[in-house]
Structure 1
Amino acid sequence: MNGFRAPIDSLGDLDVEATATLIAAAADVALIVNDNGVIRDMACQSEELLALLEGQRPWLGVPFADTVTVESRPKIEALLREAAENQASPRRQVNHPSPRGTDVPILYSAVRFGTLGRMVAVGRDLRPVAELQQRLVEAQQSMERDYTRLRHAETRYRLLFQMSPEPVLIVDASTQRVVEANPAATQMFGDVGRRVVGRPLLEAFEPDTVPAVQTLLAGVRSAGRADTTRARLIDSGRTAFVSASLFRQENASLLLVRLSVPERDGATASGSESRGKLLRFFEHAPDGLVVTDREGRILAANPAFLDLAQLASEEQARGESLERWLGRSSVDLNVLIANLRQIGSVRLFATTLRGELGAQADVEISAAAVANGTDPFYGFTVRNIGRRLPADARAGREMPRSVDQLTELVGRVSLKELVREATDVVERLCIEAALELTGNNRASAAEMLGLSRQSLYVKLRRYGLADAADHGDPDV
């Protein structure tokens, strides 16, 4: 320990009060301990720290070693022994128990003074340091977890990249040189594949098909995607379908180029062109087209449906339930899905479509279920019929005879009986409309009307509709 060079000249006129003030100001906690190790006086700068230290009992008159935890007692004993022998002891960290249940770490050094064997123990609160160390440990653990996830993700990517049967290449978008190629791509290119990494991608194709590949890459760089093109490999002369997508890694733009060589060029080319035409029709169809999973959550939607639903992009619809935009909430979608599961198709289901901004349109929905192994999906066609003339829609419909009879009763019977008759007419019309909408599906009609199936049967018999409904499938 290095002390003052001239303490007598610089501190010789200090009295007891000034010395006590100096010791209390220099430490977070200061203790005066006698030669038996008992605390005779103490000073603490922080009331909060004093409350933690003396939370269980006051320290005055208590042995210094009894104020610390069990594992810290040997340190206190060594601290006092060294101070008694050498007048100053090295610093030692000890822990004091607190009422909060967490120990309070204090760094002490002790100095013997006077002729009576008394010692002053000067302590510094290490809680801020401990908190910083804890945050550092937590930050390091968080970084380790992130690094572990990144390593696992990279391992999965590498494994997928290496084991994929589809030839895949990573190409620098600016230089068009191959950065990486999986084994399937190397095998496809034959002799060229052994040296494809680091060389321009276009060297792998016949010269007359290079412009098509250049157009593909230019379209991907400018628009982010482009249609699949055909090119011939220079080594084998086989025709390959080339597709690419753009992604960024750090500050570089890279292209993920996928190749597929059909076993029969003509058949595969025809199938690819047909799929391309279907996709273009899906994008440009005037009617709304929607593909959902078996629960009704949207997987894909064309621009016409987005216009009806008043959505700006397909991402806003993807993952949402189709019932969000249908007129009668979950009832319509439940009826549609129930029929798709039982029959496989629905035709001209009349409902309304609500837009995100409040617009509403009358629509007809036709749908079909498409088998896809254990995960089938449903396709919906949504046609806006709001522009049809109302007169055309009502041309072939006659006013129900019961309504005519009802109007003839005006003036002949009391208003109470007239209202009861009107209620029966409206109820019957609603039941007939529900049966028509659901294709005589009594379970779906009861759900649409908010009735139990038994209540619906009673009303069907009451209005003489049971026989008509039996022509459908009333037990579905």
Structure 2
Amino acid sequence: MKAFKAPKTSLGDLDAEAAAILITAAADIALILDEHGMIRDIAFSSEELAAGMGEEGWLGRRWADTVAEDSRPKVEAMLRDVADRSLPRWRHVNQGTGKGSVPILFSTARAGEGGRVVAFGRDLRPLSALQQRLVEAQQSIDRDYARLRHAETRYRMLFQLWTEPVLVLDAATLAVLEANRAADQLFGRARRRAVRVFPDLFAGTMRERIQVMLAGLRATGRAEDMQAVLREDGREVLVSATPFRQENASLVLVRLTYRQGEAGAVVLPRAKSKMLRLIESVPDAFVVTEPDGRIVTANAAFVEMAQLGAEDQAVGQPLERWLGQPGVEMEVLTANLRQRGPVRLFATTLRGEYGARMEVEISAVSVMNGTGPCFGFAIRDIGTRVTMPARARAPRSVEQLSELIGQVPLKDLVREATDVIERLCIEAALELAGDNRASAAEMLGLSRQSLYVKLRRYGLGDLPGEMG
């Protein structure tokens, strides 16, 4: 705190009335206390605040008796600081009213040599309301994001399930940015191969005609559908193109349609192995694979976790396409199944078809089916255990700690148990020492600095140089 350099000269003959006006203007609420901490006078910055606080019965009472029980040690500490002429600190005090308590930020200052003390208070209710609005706004943003994410998933699902080949092109370069599964099957290429230029998919002079059509589309915003012949198999398709914009980029949606009744129309795989109804409906994913890791059947939970539209999209595909690091986790799992038998609680990640990632645990077993072994994989999403901030769910008691059994790994339970015990010991030491940090640190065999670090970690009490 830096005081005035020459207050006697700069403030002049400042009388009690003028000092009272200055004190009232400097705070939302001001209390005049005597040397015993008794409230002798009160001032408010507005009539509305005075009516809301309901200060009746404060005069003549100890200030510590008018606040909430958890704020009394803070009031006593502020009065001790004034008596010791320590630097004033702002502290959060829950000031009692007739209808409960109001959060007030208080600081104290000595008024003259008669032992009088002035407590300056700032009403924290507007800040609390602002924080509440901020929380509500964040929740609204989270809900909007979830709706957007679900809408995108539905769009992706429809895009992949559409029986006609559909592609998304860059309007400037005509490069294929996205293609649905039907288009991948039609052109005989894997989805992860290098992007090709759309006109190259057609034969002979059809390339130039396609380029002319798309150039007209860019210039006028519309183009007539045209017949074209595919280079891969010589089949004839109807090419339809529609322009659209996304994130300031010009794109083209192209749809390829076969002639009515053509035998070469896209036929999606329909083989489906029946599973037990119980396994089909459990919330954990369950997958059966061949010895080479290709999926034979999968339940609805796996289809949802992998962001697929139907089980048909998974059948025949290698499980490692969605599981962990390709060529690593699946090799470890199958090697253990062959050599050591069942695998339990193998931790890895599962990648959704459209970019989602989640932490999972896998239990696997090998079973002989008459012609050879097949592998079964039970996959559980443990994202709810690991995505929450650790401190936000940190237990504060043994009862809360016991609720985490079965939800978090043992090593995390041990760490949380250590934190609970350490926190309880610090709280007990502070209580025995009457909130004297130096004595508490000595009881615990810690330095004062180490104790301050732990107090800050657990959010206990007010630390030096910080607001209460």
More helix by share: 1
TM-score normalised over the length of structure 2:
0.50
Q: Which structure has the larger Rg over C-alpha atoms?
A: 1
The higher-RCO structure (CA 8 Å, 6+ apart) is 2
